[in-house]
Amino acid sequence: MSELEAKDKPSNFIRDAALEDLKSGRYKGIVTRFPPEPNGYLHIGHAKAICLDFGLALEFGGRCHLRFDDTNPAKETTEYVEAIKADVRWLGFDWGPHLYHASDYFDRLYEWAEALIKKGLAYVDDLTPDQVAEYRGTLTVPGRESPYRNRAVGENLDLFRRMRAGEFPDGSKTLRAKIDMAAGNLNLRDPVMYRIRKTAHHRTGDTWCIYPMYDWAHGQSDSIEGVTHSLCTLEYEDHRPLYDWYIQALGIYAPRQIEFARLNLSHTVMSKRKLLQLVEEGLVSGWDDPRMPTLAGLRRRGYTPGAIRDFCERIGIAKADNLVDIALLEHCLREDLNLRAERRMAVLRPLRLIIENYPEGHAEELDAVNNPEDPGAGTRKVPFARILYIEQDDFRDPPPPKYFRLSPGVEVRLRYAYIVKCTGVERDAAGQVTTVRCEYDPASRGGDARGRKVKGTIHWVSAADAVDAEVRLYDHLFTAPKPDETEDWKTLVNPRSLEVLRGAKLEPSLAGAKAGDRFQFERQGYFSVDSRDSAPGRLVFNRAVGLRDTWAKIEAKT
């Protein structure tokens, strides 16, 4: 059994429980399931659950099912089903042949409902929704029994069959479990098992007009599939007694439900309702807006599945409410991309640089390293000429303290090219710098300072060879770490969460970049080709995450 423990992944109480259950023989292997309702897109919080569910199964050589919890046809669509499948696959997990739907079990669930009726454990109730609420009592006041609670088994059976046959209008009757109207746990006050909904289901069509409630469907679905550990979030802790009650009343195989705290991420919102609101009210461009915490959004932004998995591993699994700093997510992406993304030079806000002593009409190609972290990535040629573009931020007159970049009379290295010295500036009528002039040292080709101290190295692009692109810079979607906290959370949307730069100049090797390609733009950050708006000849890049910016910190302090 020690073999099971010899893993280097961080432990958590769920993994420990699984280990115990194996040791004690309660279960022979590990079977988990990820059970999304297809009524929205998956987000980073779901990724935590997916990594837990699939990760646990993988670790113990078990299996993890993908099961759609599709018991509410009014809200669920195949569009969401497909999007969810794509997201789980993209994250890197495989459910193999184990794709299921709660709706696969509608027949079985129905039979089980009749079985409960026959045992006198369920009854058809005629109370209206308002009455049901009223009879339920409150948190501190016990509920009252429905006047229909003690109907005879035969009458219940007859009524239930007629409910299924469509004889009664929507909402007019329910099937309820007969448990305890005085229970402190409201879930046990005769929970509804079935409601009448004459709505077509995306998979079963018009076959049914009664649909099972979550509690009645979930545990039994787990049981049917032989799930051992049914992992869910804390708000279902109160449902566990009901989960167990149904299983026991039916006398069927019993999985074990264990709850953990859901993920809260700073500077964003995570509830499906709020995400949907952002989309519907046009505060973002859609579910896959690169600012969204959805997997579709993160993917489009340029996040890698590996970075997200790493993040999910690092945040841990526990039961305490939490608010994880989004900086950790960003860190995980940088760490992943630092090793894998090829470097390129791109000038986001161009400023013209003229090298006065560089022969007019002359041109050459210089060698640039594709990835200093990965020698195998090789090198490439970058064209150099008399007129270049440099970043507006890389020239200051006068220079602030500790500024290492270009300013009048100062030397700086053009990455992989030459050492240049600023000799002059041209300004427009408003005093804005329009062109910077400089002289280069022909002997410093490649950037060799030959013993000189050159503190600054800046990136550049040859003006004549540059490729134009649109670059979208993203920042946190919300200005507050916990926008959820306030009623008017929508006013907290960061007005600078998206900045569009239309005049960016890229080195020519970027001309053929394909949707989804990721690069590090030297000294700036990691960027990926937008999968929706980019096209050959009209490149659009998204900034996935910026590089650590030490200068920004220094400047902010002075």
How far is residue 145's CA from residue 142's CA, in Å, rounded to a whole number?
10
In the range 32-51, which residues lie near RNA by CB under 7 A? 35, 37
Q: Residue 436 is which amino acid?
A: V
Contact assessment for residue 71 and residue 104, using Cβ atoms and an 8 Å cutoff:
no
Q: Which residues are catalytic?
A: 37, 262, 272
Q: Is the dihedral of CA 488, 290, 347, 400 positive or negative?
A: positive
User: Angle CA(391)–CA(553)–CA(328) in degrees, nearest 5?
Assistant: 100
CB of 24 to RNA, least distance (A): 17
Query: What element of type H or E holds 112?
Result: helix 106-118
> Of 410 and 529, which has the nearer Cβ to RNA?
410
Determine, following the binding rule CB under 7 A, whether residue 20 of this chain makes contact with RNA: no
The runs of H, that is alpha helices, within 402-463 are none
Stretch binding RNA (CB under 7 A), from 24-32, 325-333, 355-363, 495-503 = 325-333
Distance of CA 226 to the CA centre of its chain: 29
By C-alpha distance, which of 514, 537, 538, 518 is closest to 528?
518
How far is residue 436's CA from residue 528's CA, in Å, rounded to a whole number?
30
In the list 297, 522, 528, 531, the residue contacting RNA (rule: CB under 7 A) is: 522
In the range 460-519, which residues lie near RNA by CB under 7 A? none
In the range 260-319, which residues lie near RNA by CB under 7 A? 261, 266, 314-319
In the list 140, 443, 451, 537, the residue contacting RNA (rule: CB under 7 A) is: 140
- Long-range contacts of the stretch 372-375 (C-beta < 8 A, 24+): 372/343, 373/338, 373/339, 374/339, 374/340
Determine, following the binding rule CB under 7 A, whether residue 17 of this chain makes contact with RNA: no
In the list 120, 129, 512, 516, the residue contacting RNA (rule: CB under 7 A) is: 129
Stretch binding RNA (CB under 7 A), from 89-97, 411-419, 487-495, 511-519 = 411-419
User: Angle CA(193)–CA(199)–CA(204) in degrees, nearest 5?
Assistant: 80
CB of 361 to RNA, least distance (A): 24
Determine, following the binding rule CB under 7 A, whether residue 435 of this chain makes contact with RNA: no
Kindly give the interhelix angle for 153-164 and 106-118, rounded to the nearest 10 degrees. Answer: 160
Stretch binding RNA (CB under 7 A), from 128-136, 463-471, 487-495, 510-518 = 128-136
In the list 46, 239, 256, 267, the residue contacting RNA (rule: CB under 7 A) is: 239
> Of 60 and 395, which has the nearer Cβ to RNA?
395
CB of 165 to RNA, least distance (A): 16
Determine, following the binding rule CB under 7 A, whether residue 57 of this chain makes contact with RNA: no
R_g (Cα) of the chain, nearest Å: 31
Determine, following the binding rule CB under 7 A, whether residue 452 of this chain makes contact with RNA: no
Stretch binding RNA (CB under 7 A), from 11-19, 115-123, 277-285, 432-440 = 11-19
In the range 328-387, which residues lie near RNA by CB under 7 A? 328, 331, 334-335, 338, 343, 371-373
Stretch binding RNA (CB under 7 A), from 200-208, 250-258, 408-416, 460-468 = 408-416
Number of chain residues interacting with RNA (CB under 7 A): 94
How far is residue 68's CA from residue 82's CA, in Å, rounded to a whole number?
11
Which residues, at least 6 apart from 246, have a Cβ–Cβ distance to it below 8 Å? 177, 215, 216, 219, 220
User: Angle CA(217)–CA(223)–CA(225) in degrees, nearest 5?
Assistant: 100
Residue 218 CB coordination number (10 Å): 26
In the list 322, 357, 432, 434, the residue contacting RNA (rule: CB under 7 A) is: 322
Stretch binding RNA (CB under 7 A), from 249-257, 382-390, 488-496, 543-551 = 543-551
In the range 60-79, which residues lie near RNA by CB under 7 A? 69, 71-72, 75
Determine, following the binding rule CB under 7 A, whether residue 244 of this chain makes contact with RNA: no
Stretch binding RNA (CB under 7 A), from 77-85, 135-143, 461-469, 495-503 = 135-143
CB of 479 to RNA, least distance (A): 17
Determine, following the binding rule CB under 7 A, whether residue 325 of this chain makes contact with RNA: yes
Contact assessment for residue 307 and residue 337, using Cβ atoms and an 8 Å cutoff:
yes
> Of 160 and 531, which has the nearer Cβ to RNA?
160
Contact assessment for residue 31 and residue 65, using Cβ atoms and an 8 Å cutoff:
yes
> Of 30 and 193, which has the nearer Cβ to RNA?
193
Ramachandran sector of residue 416 (left: φ over 0; alpha: ψ -120 to 50; beta: rest): left
CB of 364 to RNA, least distance (A): 14
Determine, following the binding rule CB under 7 A, whether residue 23 of this chain makes contact with RNA: no
CB of 109 to RNA, least distance (A): 12
In the list 5, 7, 10, 198, the residue contacting RNA (rule: CB under 7 A) is: 10
Residue 510 β-bridge partners: none
Ramachandran sector of residue 521 (left: φ over 0; alpha: ψ -120 to 50; beta: rest): beta
> Of 354 and 449, which has the nearer Cβ to RNA?
449
In the list 114, 145, 237, 397, the residue contacting RNA (rule: CB under 7 A) is: 237
* Token representation of residue 389: 């573009």
